[in-house]
């Protein structure tokens, strides 16, 4: 009798296999992230599937400005305040946040104790953007692979022995800042030797680092991409300061910036498509002879301009 009732229910209320249902809800959640809190109310199983996606990208910043506008209005990402994040940390298990949080964007001053709590709880982060000065040098982020921060903060991290194993795992390093003092350049050079896993590097100035940095980068065989992200109005003058070895290096590319570093980071965290993927695509096409070798500067927002140079 019970089997007949179950069979009748299946006929009257058809449903997808759990694996397919889960995939459908997760696709919907990622496509429209503002709907995740509503989707969580559908059923307990749906909440279990989609709630981790709500915390996949943590954007911690002030509610106004270009970066939060781009994150919220353009990409549909939730903006966290410190109070909201602390409430989440207090109510969720460390295991949940360790598995959920993959991308962390910090663009707001944070007290040392809170910053240390974030490093501890969000230890599964693979992609980190940090603009304000580091109150506490990041520790415990053993899964970190992509790092964006100011040159001064990077040098600070390198000076702390406990962070060096962490830095050895980083594959993509973006250093924010244009004009760099000679002192920081001298400090930066030995720091790069700690980055044994580094394959991609992005710098905010060609002239600001000088020829010694240029030749050092060219000598690093493990690098696949040597990227300079330059404001659109300055790129021609900047290229004039590049060392000949850099200009001749097949891994070198100048991205003329129409999209900010923060916007690029947010876009990449959300879609997987950012200036790193753009650079890889372009460099591969240039190596294969599909793009003129002389083309070394492209826009960071529009591939059609250089794709018109593709040869058959």
Per DSSP, the three-state class of 154 is helix
Digit-coded pLDDT (tens) for 204-249? 888 878 788 899 999 999 999 999 988 767 778 888 888 899 999 9
Distance CA 242, CA 252 (A): 10
- Please check the confidence at residue 303 and state whether its pLDDT lies above 70: no
Q: In the prediction, which pLDDT does 26 show?
A: 60
Over residues 89-112, mean pLDDT: 91
Q: Give the Cα separation of 37 and 29 in Å (integer).
A: 9
Sheet hosting strand 225-231, strand order edge to edge: 79-80, 57-61, 103-107, 127-130, 146-150, 172-176, 200-203, 225-231, 252-257, 297-299
Mean pLDDT value of segment 79-92? 91
pLDDT in tens, 101-155: 999 999 998 888 999 899 999 999 999 999 877 877 787 898 999 999 998 889 8
pTM for the full predicted model: 0.85
| Between 186 and 268, residue with greater pLDDT | 268
Task: Extract the tokens encoding 114.
Answer: 């809170």
* Rounded Cα distance, 13 and 8, in Å: 8
Residues 6 or more apart from 150 whose CB is under 8 A from it? 131, 133, 175, 176, 177
Domain range annotation of the chain:
1-54, 55-144, 161-312
Q: Which of 265, 250, 252 has the alpha carbon at shortest distance from 213?
A: 252
Which residue reads 């690093």 in tokens?
A: 220
Nearest to 166 by CA among 188, 187, 149, 147: 147
- The residue among 156 and 234 whose pLDDT is bigger is 156
Residue 115 DSSP class:
H
Q: What percent of the chain has pLDDT over 90?
A: 35
Over the stretch 24-59, which tens digit does the pLDDT of each residue have? 656 666 666 766 766 665 666 766 666 777 789 999
| pLDDT of 312 strictly over 60 | no
Give the separation between CA 16 and CA 24, rounded to whole angstroms: 10
């Amino acid at each position: 009798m019970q089997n007949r009732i179950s069979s009748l229910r299946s006929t009257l209320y058809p449903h997808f296999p759990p694996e397919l249902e889960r995939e459908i809800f997760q696709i919907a959640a990622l496509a429209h992230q503002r709907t995740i809190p509503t989707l969580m109310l559908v059923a307990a199983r749906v909440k279990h599937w989609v709630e981790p996606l709500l915390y996949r990208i943590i954007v911690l910043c002030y509610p106004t400005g270009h970066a939060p506008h781009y994150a919220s209005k353009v990409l549909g990402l939730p903006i966290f305040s410190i109070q909201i994040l602390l409430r989440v940390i207090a109510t969720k298990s460390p295991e949940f946040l360790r598995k959920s949080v993959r991308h962390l964007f910090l663009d707001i001053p944070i007290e040392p104790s809170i910053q240390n709590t974030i490093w501890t709880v969000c230890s599964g982060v693979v992609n980190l953007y940090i603009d304000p000065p580091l109150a506490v040098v990041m520790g415990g982020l053993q899964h970190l692979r992509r790092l964006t921060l100011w040159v001064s903060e990077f040098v600070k991290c390198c000076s702390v022995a406990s962070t060096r194993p962490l830095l050895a795992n980083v594959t993509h390093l973006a250093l924010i800042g244009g004009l760099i003092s000679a002192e920081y350049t001298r400090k930066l050079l030995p720091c790069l030797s700690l980055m044994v896993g580094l394959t991609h590097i992005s710098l905010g100035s060609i002239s600001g680092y000088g020829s010694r940095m240029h030749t050092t980068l060219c000598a690093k065989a493990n690098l696949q991409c040597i990227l300079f992200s330059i404001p659109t109005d300055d790129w021609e003058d900047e290229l004039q300061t590049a060392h000949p070895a850099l200009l001749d290096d097949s891994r070198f590319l100048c991205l003329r910036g129409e999209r900010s570093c923060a916007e690029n980071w947010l876009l990449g965290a959300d879609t997987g498509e950012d200036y790193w993927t753009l650079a890889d695509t372009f460099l591969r096409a240039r190596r294969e002879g599909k793009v003129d070798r002389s083309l070394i500067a492209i826009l960071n927002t529009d591939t059609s301009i250089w794709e018109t140079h593709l040869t058959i």
